[in-house]
Chain A
Amino acid sequence: MGTVLAMTIGRLHRGLYLALAGLLLLAACGTDRTGTSGMSTIRDVVGDLPKPSGAKPSGAAAMSPEALATINQPLMVVAIPDIETQAVLYVAATNGGVATWKASNNATVLMDGPVLFATRGIGPDLLSAETRALRQMLEAGRTGQYSRDLRYLDGLDQIVVVPLDCALNVQGNENLTIVNRSQPTRHMQEICRRPDGKQLRNEYWLGADGTLWQSRQWISDTLGYMATQRLVH
């Protein structure tokens, strides 16, 4: 009971914070080339509040193999179960082996090959992750133990480095069926321990050429894990 009540109250007073912000600021409108008046900010945020109901669009399910066959650029579905959201992403840019995968609403997921490097515009984002060594191991199918850092911003905008102690192992070969097509993959599992004792379990399914066909990768405490599936090579 306590939790439910607390969550209701929590939600109530987050709403209250917004109302308070509106009142305190008494934000104005006017000539505003950049759309940055306080009022437009509040409007944006209110527009983002979860809607009571409505049909949930189903991303990947809505795509038929025929539709996919007409597309010849890389596409990837990303789902974040903890916030009940998913999207289809395309590559908007690449820099030094890191691809910026972009959703239509300006959220991006940066991937160093198969490994999550950063998120932007999703929520309290992953600022960056150490990926290079892990990428090489995944692509070569090597196992081993190593440590790598994740970076976040805290409530005061300070960089927080979270060191992980990880082990990578091979789970075996698996055939995945992705949009009616069978993909042979090697399933690798990365188990990491955080300083606070929490254990993270990332999974990677890679094709023989190193393409990441499917994965489950930790983002942050608020967002939890993301699941990815490659639709178009």
Chain B
Amino acid sequence: MRRLATSAFCLALTAPTGQAQEATLPPSASVGFYGLPGLVDMPTGEALPDGELVTTVGSFAGITRTTLAFQFAPRISASFRYSALEDWDSDGFSTYYDRSFDLRLLLLTENEWRPSLTLGFQDFIGTGIYSGEFLAASKHFFDDRLTVSAGLGWGRLGSHGAIGSTGSRPDRDIGEGGKLEADQWFRGDFAPFGGLEWRPIDRLSIKAEYSSDNYDIEDGEKGIFERKSPYNFGIEYQLSEDVRIGAYSLYGSEFGLMASLAINPARPPQGGIRDAAPPPVLTRPSRSVRPDLYTVDWAESEDLRGQVTEMTSEAMLEQKLELEALRLTPTTATAFVRNAGYNAEAQALGRTARIMSRTMPSSIETFTIVQTARGGVRLPAVTLQRRDVETFEVQPDGAEQMQARRVTDTPVEAPHWSEFAPGIYPGFAWQVGPYLRTSLFDPDQPFRADLGINLGASWTPVPGLVFAGSVAKKLIGNLDDVTRELDLQLPHVRSDYALYDKHGDPWIQNLYGAYYFQPGGDFYGRVTAGYLERMFAGVSTELLWAPFDSNIALGAEINYARQRDFEGGFGLQDYDVVTGHASIYWEVVPQYHAQLDVGRYLAGDEGATLSVERVFENGWTVGAFATKTNVDDDEFGEGSFDKGITMSIPLEWFVGRSTRATSSFTMRPLTRDGGAKLSVPGRLHGIVDQGSERRLDDQWGRFWR
């Protein structure tokens, strides 16, 4: 009755979503038409804030540049640019599409008496229409109201008003593109450029610059626009912390517009994660006060043990966790837990510990929590003392104390059949949801997409054994109207993607059985057989050695794959291949991860893939990869070798609520057949990495959240 009276009056005590504070503005470096710190068309010596990811679209004279720039480290930034040049009329296209990569190094940071200094390489591996190098310096004055920048440019950036020359710049041998053109760097004429940015009020910038780019091709040969003057002017407005727009007068003849969106993993749009409050820790009366509570008779009773398991299991479900099994001794409890709800592993641990404090008999002094994944893979075990859980819930440095006191160890023995929670095995699950697939950068149509529906199901009869499959049906889209036929020399292991879209709808995305095993210690194993991906079926085996406390893991994967037919059913084509890799996964320094795979690829070519990623503490990753195999550039086709950009963003970062869902992208400027890898569902490293000490530590602050 009392409880009723209370809850009847209780109201919500919650910040509505989106109440993140209007943070003080800005001022990160403003970007120019190339999407990197710049004035209008010229670069400055500044860098973006660390981790900043800026997307910029700028257009003038029928030239539209879309740039994704990333400040990979405080002093290193990289960007990918896709440009459309109207009326270029080359190779039979009226609009020419160009891909280019830039790299910038901040050599000196600004201080009281010196400017910042940046070394830049523009378009250093593309087809080279934007290629140029520069050295630029910037200095802020009058409380950042005025920024003065000046620099020296080579290549394109030294094409107007040259004041000297460093040898002669060799012509770029474009070939299939995609190569470093180091012999051009800082060669040929060089010319000065520079300008001012004035901020009369916080959100407004007025820019004026002198450009050293003569637009030789655009103004001359191609006649896209007339370059009448080297002076450019612009006015920019910061709409919000993330969005900036600008209008410009360029080269005395053209009007331009630009917009940029800046996001940063350190700046979540909702201001942080807001989950429902965790259950409070329940402290036990001391042994001297209630000795009866500390008896261990319960451990003898199958019935009481079952009750403890059931109670824990129910309490965990309410916290978006699933109890897979519970191992009890009179003084210890080991919970095998599936973390269904939390991107932060530490938060799942903390909530499990809180629940255990509420449901475990008082005689239990030690909690061991084993996270399980993919139908029973046991990740490293974390052991906490119950007394610590009780004490540090309410200490100011409670999180730090728990971190110092937790003990992590290699995975424990698998649960005995009697220890499983009811209803866990056999497990059946299905899901239905929409999918979005895109195809970028086809010169006929740079953006294509399909929206459809995807139905998946899985059955886990016993721990470690998973049968799963999914089918998909397109609802709307234009991926199937790719008409471009390529004359390629390697087996068509990836380049027939359009035929799959054309002929296979609906299709079986995958249908397979997977067996996970743990031979002991830090070893993990997997065998997967069936229809593994849309283009290949086969058998895949993998072994991984991944100590929980090491920054290195080693893996090996050997697969036999046979190409599937285009119809998306069970049919197979004749092409088959044995493919596989030895892999090293290495956290070089905190947040910077490298992976090297050496082996044989789908087209039978042999070589290596190097991936470099920045992994932020909150789970954001941004990286790039390149694969070089023993096919020469002609054989590979346009682009010369396989490369791309990867990004993965935890959904919780967007929505401000814990969820394990993550959206991941891989963007390749070109899809060819060389250096292609089999895509196997449920590869081990991604699963096992969740249990590493690094993952725990990265978000340990969420233990008590």
Contacts and interface: CB of A to CB of B under 8 A. Distances in A.
Nearest to B6: A90
B570 interface: no
Nearest to B239: A9
Contact of A71 (B6, B13, B395, B434): B6
Given A48-B14, A104-B10, A98 B394 contact: yes
A9 B701 contact: no
A28 B15 contact: no
B430 A123 contact: no
Contact of B271 (A11, A48, A108, A222): A222
Contacts of A85: 11-16
A39 B433 CA distance: 9
Contacts of B447: none
Interface in A139-179: 149, 151, 153-159
A158 to B, nearest CB: 6
Given A35-B320, A108-B277, A121 B14 contact: yes
A206 interface: no
Contacts of B456: 28, 30
Nearest to A221: B21
B432 A30 contact: yes
Nearest to A7: B22
B659 to A, nearest CB: 4
Interface in B260-285: 264-278, 280-283
Nearest to B357: A95
Range for the number of chain B residues in contact with chain A? 35 or more
Interface string A1-32: 01101110111011101101101111111111
A151 B700 CA distance: 13
Contacts of A11: 18
Contacts of B395: 128
A44 interface: yes
Which secondary structure characterizes the binding site on chain B?
A: loop
A75 interface: yes
Given A31-B431, A86-B13, A105-B14, A149 B243 contact: no
A10 B651 contact: no
B136 to A, nearest CB: 30
A93 B284 CA distance: 12
Contacts of A197: none
B285 to A, nearest CB: 12
Contact of B269 (A17, A28, A107, A222): A17
Given A42-B655, A93-B282, A26 B435 contact: yes
A156 B266 contact: yes
Contacts of A5: 239
A72 B654 CA distance: 43
Contacts of A33: 317, 322, 340
Contacts of A210: none
Q: Which of B5, B241, B267 has the most CB of A within 10 A?
A: B5
Nearest to A79: B13
A135 B429 CA distance: 51
B663 A153 contact: no
Contacts of B268: 155
Given A34-B341, A35-B320, A221-B21, A103 B11 contact: yes
Interface residues of A, number: 100
Interface stretch (B70-78, B396-404, B547-555): B396-404
Contacts of A156: 265-266, 616-618
A159 B698 CA distance: 10
A18 B654 contact: yes
Contacts of A59: 9, 11
Contacts of A103: 10-13
Given A36-B341, A123-B271, A67 B5 contact: yes
Contacts of A3: 22
A188 interface: no
Contact of B240 (A6, A70, A87, A122): A6
Contacts of B649: 24
A9 B5 contact: no
A205 to B, nearest CB: 21
Given A39-B433, A123-B271, A72 B2 contact: yes
A222 B273 CA distance: 13
A102 interface: yes
A78 interface: yes
B656 to A, nearest CB: 7
A50 interface: yes
Contacts of B266: 154-156
Given A34-B322, A103-B12, A70 B239 contact: no
B274 A122 contact: yes
A172 B133 CA distance: 71
A191 B218 CA distance: 65
Contacts of A35: 320
B17 interface: yes
B628 interface: no
Q: Which of A49, A78, A124, A154 has the most CB of B within 10 A?
A: A124
Contact of B272 (A75, A124, A149): A124
B14 A9 contact: no
B705 A95 contact: no
Contacts of A34: 317, 320-322, 340-341
B454 interface: yes
A83 B19 contact: yes
Nearest to A10: B240
Interface in B275-334: 275-278, 280-283, 317, 320-322
Contacts of B21: 221-222
A112 interface: yes
Contact of B17 (A38, A48, A62, A97): A48
A158 B591 CA distance: 13
B391 interface: yes
Contacts of A55: none
A92 interface: yes
B203 interface: yes
B398 A106 contact: no
B505 interface: no
B242 interface: yes
Contact of B701 (A10, A109, A130, A153): A153
Interface string A100-130: 1011111111101000011011111101111
16 contacts: A6-B22, A14-B18, A18-B654, A27-B651, A30-B430, A36-B341, A50-B17, A62-B9, A85-B15, A95-B393, A97-B394, A105-B14, A120-B277, A122-B13, A149-B396, A157-B702
Closest 6 CB pairs of A and B: A28-B433, A30-B431, A123-B15, A104-B10, A120-B277, A93-B280
Given A14-B17, A45-B657, A87-B12, 6 more contacts: A2-B201, A14-B270, A17-B269, A83-B16, A121-B14, A159-B700
Interface of A: 2-3, 5-7, 9-11, 13-15, 17-18, 20-21, 23-39, 41-42, 44-45, 48-50, 57, 59, 62-63, 67, 70-73, 75, 78, 80, 83, 85-90, 92-93, 95-98, 100, 102-110, 112, 117-118, 120-125, 127-131, 149, 151, 153-159, 221-223
